[in-house]
Each structure stands twice: as C-alpha cells, then as structure tokens.
Structure 1
C-alpha cells in the first residue's frame, strides 16, 4: 500500500518524462531575502497618513527597515520636525503581541501583514489619537502626550471614536460596546451576539468583496448607534484542516459559494445606552446586499443596497425613529455596478451629496441634492476619475486621484466646473493625494519607475513644505522598466517589460508574462517597487512582461471594461493580442518560449492559458488559483457570471476542469497553493491536480503548509516559492 501511494504521489506531482539532472543549489540570494524582509523595501516608509483638522500636524505610522511593528509619529508642518508619539514596545514592555482569531481574520480580509499599530484613529476635533495593540486600546492626548489604557475587556475589534470624541466604540464577544472616556468604563450596547449571529461586525462578503470593513456607525450626537446583525447560520460551512495534526479538529468557516445562501444581514438602530433595537426596513428580498452605510453630521442616515447580481442598487434615506426608508437614487448597469465606499459623500451642511456613477460611459462625479436629484456634474466622464481625495466646499473644488493614462496616476484639482489640472508636476509617476478639509494642506505620496515611495507635504497651492521622513533601505538597483503603448487606432494596449540588466540588443530571450487579468484590472504601472521581482526574474535570463487588456483603461468602451459571462476567454485573448503586438516592436521577445504566472485570479488565468492556448503559452506557474467558479464566493463570482442556476454554461466554460482533457495538448503547469487559504480554499488545487492526474496530464503540485492567501506574509515561503517558479521556467522554457 505504501509503495502504491508513493508511486501515485510521484505521478501526481511530476511530469512522467525523463528529467534533467538537478542543478546544484545556487548561493543564497541575499537580494530576494532582503526584498521580502523589508516588504519590498517599503518598511521604514511612512504609511497611514492622517491630516489633523487644524492643518498643523500630519500623523503617520512607520517601522524600521526590518521590522513589521509600526509606531506612531507626528510631523509638525511649521517646523518640519518629526517626533515619535508611541511605540508598541513601550506598551508591551517585552511581551509578545497577540491577536485574536477574529482580528487575524479581519486583517486577512484587509490584506494587512504589519504588526504593532496596524492602524490608528484621530478624533474629529483632533485632540486625541486611538491605537489598538494585542486586543487592548490606548488613547494618546495630542496636547500633553499622555497615554491612557482603556479599561476594556479582552478581544477588542474595530475601535473608533464617536463623533463627539467623548466615547470609543468597538466590538467584542460578538456585540457592540462603548467606553466613556471621562470615566474609563465600558458598557455593552447590543445583546445576544454569537459566532453565527454577530452584532457590529462586517460579514465575510462585505470585507472580502465590498470593501466594507465595519459593521457599526455612530450618530452625529453619539446618542445612537446603527449596527449590522449578520446571521450566518444558513451559510454553508467549509473546513480547513491542518493535515500535520490529524488529531486536531478542522476549522469551520461560513463561506457562501456561488449560488448558495449568503449571510442574512439587517441593520438595527439602538440607543448608546442599550435597549430595544429598531430595525431598518427595505426590500431585502430584492436587494439582499447591504453595501454601504453613511451617517453624516448633517443629513440622513443613508444606506446603499444592491440586488444579488449587482446590476441594480438603491440609495435609501433612513428615518431613525421608525426604521422606514425613502429612495434617493437608483443606479443600474447591464453588466455590474462597482462599489466605492466613499459615496455617498454628504456635504457638511447636509444640502446634498457627492455621487460616483458610470452611467455616461466612464467614472463621473456628481453633485445631488437632498432628494437625490442631480444638480450638476463636478468631474465629467473621460477625466479619469479614480478616487475622491477631497471636496473643499467653500471653494467648490474637487481633488481626485486618477488620470487617463493607465500606467500613471496623479492628484488632480477641479475648480467650479473648470477642466481638471494637476496639483503637482513631473512624472511619470503613481500618486495618491490626501487633502485637508479646508484645502490648505496636502500630502502626496508618489513613486515612479526609478524611485520608491515618498510622501511630500504641500500647501494648498502645491508649494512644497517638506517630506515625511523615511528610514527605508533603498533597493540595490533600479529595474530596467520600459512602458509603452502598442497596437493601432482604438486597439491600443498598455504594456511593460523588464529585460536582464546585461541583455544584448537583438538576442532573443524567453518570456515570462506576469498576469492578474481580472476585469478592469491594471497591471502595467510606472512603479519601481512593482518591478523589483520582475528584474530579479529577468536577470536569470528572461524578459518579464505585463499586459493590460483594452478594458483596463478607465476610458474604454463599457463592453470592454465589463465582459460579462465569458470574461475569462475574452481577457485571455486580450493578453495574447497584446503580447503579439509588443513582439512587433520588441524583436527580442521569443514567442516560441512564453511562460505565464500569477496569483489568485492571476493563478486562474495562468492555468487557463496553458490549458486553452498552449500554442502561445508553453509553461505556467499558477498560485492560489480558482479552479471552478462554483466554488468561489457569491459577490465577486455572480457579478461576472450571473447566478449558476440561470447561467450554467458561463460557469462550465469558465471552469478549469472543463478544459482538462486526456490526450489534449497543453502547456507545462505547476500548481502552488497554501493549505490554510480561507479565500481560495486549498481544495481548488486538489481538484485541479486530481483532474490532471486522471487525464494523464503531467504537472507539478507544490502545497504550502499552513500558508493563507497572503503567501508573501512568510518571507521564507515566498522566497522558496519564487525559487521554484524560476526553476520551473528555466526547465521548461
């Protein structure tokens, strides 16, 4: 039996052909280890930038170049001096940081790998700062620097100040609590929360797909709280087992696969002192998704709800006394609607709200009145609006991040309906701007093809005041990044490539395509940080390429941006066309030796490429790949493919298993997957490997023991994974 099992495993995990002699192990690659230990050379750079309302101070988080533990700092705008406000070490006093399972899951959804102060909050008056560490909360008085530990019970999640600054809300024991800062005493607000019926926590779908990470909201006067009740008792339970400890019980998670039941979510209103809950009422049968909740200083409590396939959403104003709702606006899209948690953005006087729409072909920013009626367009379609940085009401000025050139992004200003103008100069670059409420202070974080991320402090007119200090180690080289548009007419593709630093003109080299390939996803970026791994791979004898589909452009035709039902084939065909167009202008690309790799959706696209287009893609390394979309979550999957019962053909054609056939030509494939992945479960990889094995299709299979969807969270595992990836491409290309 043992011999038979061993033989089966060998056949399953390696090609059934003669293998070349193994290459002796190379010396330790100190660059790649340093790359991962410094989080791609971003450790030591300011993050979590927050501007004080008085526009005198910029708060931020920063760690040392080799530590994940973030500390809290303050930059004085007038003196340009930086001081350390608080460190994790000072609070822990030598103890290890501990995270509850709930907090670990929440950080997994938010893709947070840092430790220490992973986030902080500033009270609306700017007087106090709130940080959490090891399940405990601390308030830092800005004027005196005094640190007060809040007397909460254990396991605090999602702590936030009330708008008045006198209380702090949070969730623990599956219920909402509040703590009065004057007396440092806590009070349970909701009652009866359980692991399967939580109060105040965002459910899995909200966190993973909607970008909503909270489940409670304060009223402006802090007398009431709105909170979600997420009932997962009817949601399918999937298990994650640690096979190295078979005596231990498997971890069971509520995970709604496509076509199955979601969590039942409702919104309640309750006094901050507790008591009876008033439930908000809307047509939940038609609009089951509670996507967004906003409770502005002036204006109504507002909720955005969506239908199951996300083709229609309704913005509702809530009567907080009765829970009744009134429609303010309805938005539809024949493909799907994209969510942006910034909106609705209510004006400070409650006279209307800002709204993002794609109704007129591409992203547009509108001003609407209190009834939802359109007042005017503030940023027109075609301007490349990506995200709102600020709306300075007194000046009727919009600041937004984005632009029309997809490999680049800048901070733009639109004054009183005039044409957008850039706040900064120079480029090419990727910028993200943060603007104070009155517009007198701006922080622009920027990176480029030859520069790592830095954060500049500016006046409202763009005059530079200083820079948030960085301690980061700089990379030992600059990537040979080349970004270009290829193709003709409207059929233009953004592409990038990185050659070996010792590449010789005219010498053909094998190609590795780095792919993600989801709808509306941009991979080609003017970024040094995002090109470091590509340069490491290129230096081992490849040209590393990234290719954007035409639909990645924010100005693309709607049908190109949102290819419904058959999205995978359409987007893979786009990769092939873009690659061939790039080869027309870069003759060094050897199209007879092309590999492809990616993670998550990129892993899916990589496997699909060698299964369906082996004449183009000779080898693939698929990491954390979805195998069958019927096994992925409802909100993302049904957005692209509809409901399984209504569109079974879409699911069948999108499944990798459909394209695994005995005797059918396919490229070489390595499957890599973490055994503890709670986003794309490990059974996806097992299903694919089993199908390949039964079809007699040689492949390699590398399980990553105990690793979640964030494979880069463990530097050693990520390093070994990339070593295996390069070995595989060297062997097969």
Structure 2
C-alpha cells in the first residue's frame, strides 16, 4: 500500500497550489507563492494584475516567504542570505539577510541579521538601525513566547515609512520606536505586570495598537501608542477567569475611528466569540468569529468587516461580511456557499475567497497546478453526547455495511487545534489508515475551537480528564449510528500533544484502548513553552500537582513511541495488536 504524499498530510498544504496570498492596499495587485509540483516545475513568486488578469512571474525558484509595499509594487525576499526585490533584483547588503520587508512606500527595505541587528537599505546605502554583533540583545526577531500567541515577527514599518516599531529581547521583550536618522524612544507600558506582547498593528491615523497580557493570561490591555513619545493609552481591557483568547486580526482601527477588538459574550444565555467596536457588539452572537481578514469598502451602506467564522456546523469555516454602520443593529452576510473550509484575503476593494478574486462584479480565479488529491474521503460528521462533541467517522473505500472493523481513534494536536474539519486534504492520511482496514474516528473534545468559548475553556487545569472522558464517551455514543465500530478493538494515535493524549489513554484506560501510537509525544508539560503550558494548566509554581497529573510515562504496555514518518512500523504494530 502506498503512503499518501507528505504534501497532503501537513495541514492541507499542496504543492502547485497558490498560497501566502497578499492583496495590495489599493486592490491593484495580488501576490502569491506557488511551490514546485509535478505540474508546476517552475515554482516562484507571482503577481496578478487585477485590472487585466495578467500574471507575472516575479521570481523563479524556491521563494519561501516574501513581503510587499502597500501597493505591492515592490516585493522583497531573501534567498541563501541575499536580498532580492522585484524592482532591483539582487541588492548588496552588509550582512546576511533575514525577514526583509519594504516600507509601505517602497523607498526603503529593512531586514534583520542572524546576530540580532536591524538594518535598513535605501538605494545603495545599508544602515545599521539598531543592535550590535555580540551585544547580547536581539532586535526585530520574534521572541520565543510570540509564537504561542500566533505572532511570527518582531518589527513593523509605520504607514509613511519613516518609523519602525521593533522588539528588543534581552531576554524579556521591550518595544521601541526607531526613526531612520538614529533616534528612538521606548514604548511605555507596565512590562512587569504585562510581560506578553501579543499583537502589534499600525493604524491608518499613524498610531499603533498593541495588545499585552499578564503572565497568567487572564487579563490584557489594548493600548494605542503615540509615535512621538512612546506613551500609551488604554483603549480596551480583556479579561477571563481562565485565559484571554484574542481574535486574530484584532485589534484594528476602523475607518470611522473606532477601535475593534475581539472578545466573548457570556451573559443573557449567550456563549459567543464576537467583535466589539469601542465596547459595542458588532457581530451577531450566533457567529463564532475565528479571524478578521480585513475591511472592505462598499459603494453604499459603509465598509464591511470580512471575517472567517462558523455559524452552526463547527467542521465548516465560511467567509462573512459584517456591517460597521452603527445604526440598524448587528448583521452578517455569508459570502461562501459550498460546505467546506474557506479563507479570505482583503486589500483595497478586492476580496479573495479561497482562490477566487472579486472586485465589484468582476471575478477571476488564481491558477492552481496542484495534483488531484490521492483520496476522496467522505467522513460522516456527527455531534455526539450531551456535550455535542464534533466528530468524524471515516470508513474504508467500498466498505460493506454489516462488516465490523477495528477502530483507530485519530487525535488532533491538542487544545486550540481543531481536527474535525470539512477539508479533504486534512483527511488524506486518515483515509489511508481506513483503507488499511480500520474505521477511523476523530473527535474534537472540549478544548478545541469552533463551538463556543465555554467549550474551549472548561479544560482549564483539568485537560487530561476532560479530553479523555470526551473521547471515550464519543466512541460509545457513535456506535448507535455506526454499529460496525468494534469497540473491543480500539487503537488510539496522535502526534505531539495528540501523542501525549494517546499515551494518557493507553496508560489510564487500557480497558478501552487496546493499543496506542504516540508520535514524538510530549511527556512532561513542564517542558513545554511556559506561555503555552500556563494557558491551560496555570503556573507550575502554584499548580505542581496539576502538572504531575498531566505527566505520562515514556513507556507502557500496548504503547508504541514512534518518530514522525514511521508509518509502516505503526501500521504493523496497530494491526497486530487489534487482530
């Protein structure tokens, strides 16, 4: 049996398909990457002229990431330590180049170096803006904790290209405003009380918005930064007894001057993940907001906020347009019709949903050269138990009803990671396992997004017990509609934190799980990044017993500890144990 190709087993990425889309602020251009595949032997960075539909290959070869000016008339990327731009080709630099970004006007290009310096190239001049080799401080790089909040960068151009906001890590992060003449001021907030810098975003008026959190992550502030003095002003407070979960794409300054933040509605019977503008609710409570893609101007009725979210079925993600007008109440229009997992990118008056580019009434499709998926899985989605846990059941191709089969419980990536999604690319490896003779079941236990804030946060300091209970209860509930599940032969499998839960399942409930595969499992939560572990278990100093309860043994009867990529060994082990 052939293994599904790696490209279809890593979160849905497919070689030859456009990805990393960006739309210029004026809507004139769309930039994207396309990776090499059988039908696309010349990968590279591409630009689409929206008015003419003309495609231009900006750079051939393995461009892994890029950045653009506001109008995308200047694109930059790094290759083998060198700096390249769409207008000047290779540009000489004083040092090895990481994370190059043109300023919004396209006049300057900034980059960071491996030894922690921040430099700016203007014409033929390469200027050191901050840092020194061996100085002990790193400028412009995302500090380790940033990744736990979804932030992958550490410096940002101002809209006019005259200032840079940059993180300085020593190792505690601080934030600074740098001008291109060597001047700089500190951004002032109580960093001892709020050590986590979650988000940084420049507003159209020239001020920046930042989000900071306490170490406990139970309280945060949205602050505006005065670019002249570095002083900050509180725009909103974020609070939760468990942890604050900011909405990606927020905070954001709306065209009418209000500051939009993500939050939760938890009163009068509501349990919703919503958007607020200066404290007023602007999304309907029935819409679970996952991400804000941008703001789209409209000829009449005012601009609309484009969001990715869920309304009803957690396995699906759709694109919605939300009114910003303060009169007339809250409303949202769904812009995607087909069931599935849809995404959006916005710039100017252009909206890209998946690969469809829309400007007014005109539409076009970005060309994809991706190979067809190896399998066409058809998981059966169910909501089970009194907790309405999202689940998916996948049978072998050509399964004959009445033939009982062993069960493989395939786990997700831990809290905050949804596994039961309506995306065929995400089910490729699971279909391979099904065709090997299993009914593959996946359950999004409490702690995963897409349902409601209370569903996500009930796991606080008791993740192991809640997640394991949900998985077992869901398996038992599914047999009502799926009698071919043989619950006397159940295997469990997961990677990372999914591998940790697989080990928990085998070690604590061997009466339910005959065997398990833990791929690169987490053994001890105390070894995870502090920001991640404390979000779900609290501080180790105050909750040592909780951490000990969530620790698993590195070996147990019926448990295979497997490195990533060991599919053949895993299949042989599970088949033998479930025979």
> What TM-score does the superposition give when structure 2 sets the normalisation length?
0.91
Q: Deviations over 1:351-382 (max 9, x none)?
A: 222111125332111112xxxxx2x3221333
Partner of 1:50: 22
In structure 1, the residue corresponding to 2:465 is in which secondary structure? helix
Q: For residues 285 and 134 of structure 2, what CA distance do their matches in structure 1 show?
A: 46
Q: Where do residues 321-400 of structure 1 align in structure 2 (5 Å cutoff)?
A: 321-348=228-255, 351-360=257-266, 361-368=271-278, 374=279, 376-392=280-296, 395-400=302-307
Q: For residues 292 and 642 of structure 1, what CA distance do their matches in structure 2 show?
A: 22
1:409 and 2:317 equivalent? yes
Q: For residues 5 and 237 of structure 2, what CA distance do their matches in structure 1 show?
A: 51
Partner of 2:560: 670
Q: Where do residues 415-430 of structure 1 align in structure 2 (5 Å cutoff)?
A: 415=323, 416=325, 417-425=329-337, 427-430=338-341
1:471 and 2:369 equivalent? yes
Bigger proportion of residues as helix? 1
Label 1:647 to 1:604 Cα distance change in 2 as closer, same or farther (>3 A).
same
Match of 2:568 among 723, 726, 731: 723
Q: For residues 79 and 570 of structure 2, what CA distance do their matches in structure 1 show?
A: 37
Partner of 1:265: 173
Q: Deviations over 1:144-174 (max 9, x none)?
A: xxx4222213321111121222111111131
Partner of 1:289: 196
Match of 1:191 among 108, 118, 131: 131
Q: For residues 37 and 544 of structure 1, what CA distance do their matches in structure 2 show?
A: 15
Q: For residues 592 and 164 of structure 1, what CA distance do their matches in structure 2 show?
A: 65
Label 1:390 to 1:280 Cα distance change in 2 as closer, same or farther (>3 A).
closer
> Any conservation in 1 of the 2:85–2:91 contact (CA below 8 Å)?
yes
Q: Which runs of no fewer than 5 residues in structure 2 stay unpaired?
A: none
Label 1:302 to 1:78 Cα distance change in 2 as closer, same or farther (>3 A).
closer
> Any conservation in 2 of the 1:218–1:226 contact (CA below 8 Å)?
yes
Q: For residues 322 and 41 of structure 1, what CA distance do their matches in structure 2 show?
A: 44
Q: Which runs of no fewer than 5 residues in structure 1 stay unpaired?
A: 1-28, 89-115, 142-146, 232-262, 369-373, 446-454, 661-665, 674-710, 712-717
Partner of 2:117: 175
Partner of 1:205: 145
Partner of 2:380: 482
Match of 1:160 among 94, 98, 101: 101
Label 1:458 to 1:318 Cα distance change in 2 as closer, same or farther (>3 A).
closer
Partner of 1:132: 78
Q: Deviations over 1:43-63 (max 9, x none)?
A: 011111222344343222112
Question: CA shift at 1:68, angstroms?
Answer: 9.7
1:574 and 2:502 equivalent? no
Q: Deviations over 1:165-204 (max 9, x none)?
A: 2111111131110111xx2321001133547421111111
> Any conservation in 1 of the 2:407–2:485 contact (CA below 8 Å)?
yes
Structure exhibiting the larger radius of gyration computed from Cα positions: 1
Question: CA shift at 1:331, angstroms?
Answer: 1.1
> Any conservation in 1 of the 2:375–2:431 contact (CA below 8 Å)?
no
Question: CA shift at 1:475, angstroms?
Answer: 2.7
Partner of 1:144: none
In structure 2, the residue corresponding to 1:431 is in which secondary structure? coil
Q: Deviations over 1:463-487 (max 9, x none)?
A: 6x22211111113441242222233
Partner of 1:84: 57
Q: Where do residues 281-680 of structure 1 align in structure 2 (5 Å cutoff)?
A: 281-348=188-255, 351-360=257-266, 361-368=271-278, 374=279, 376-392=280-296, 395-404=302-311, 405-415=313-323, 416=325, 417-425=329-337, 427-438=338-349, 441-445=350-354, 455-460=355-360, 465-487=363-385, 490-516=386-412, 518-550=414-446, 552=448, 554-556=450-452, 558=454, 561-657=457-553, 668-673=558-563
> What TM-score does the superposition give when structure 1 sets the normalisation length?
0.73
Residues paired across the two proteins, number: 564
Question: CA shift at 1:435, angstroms?
Answer: 2.6
In structure 2, the residue corresponding to 1:575 is in which secondary structure? helix
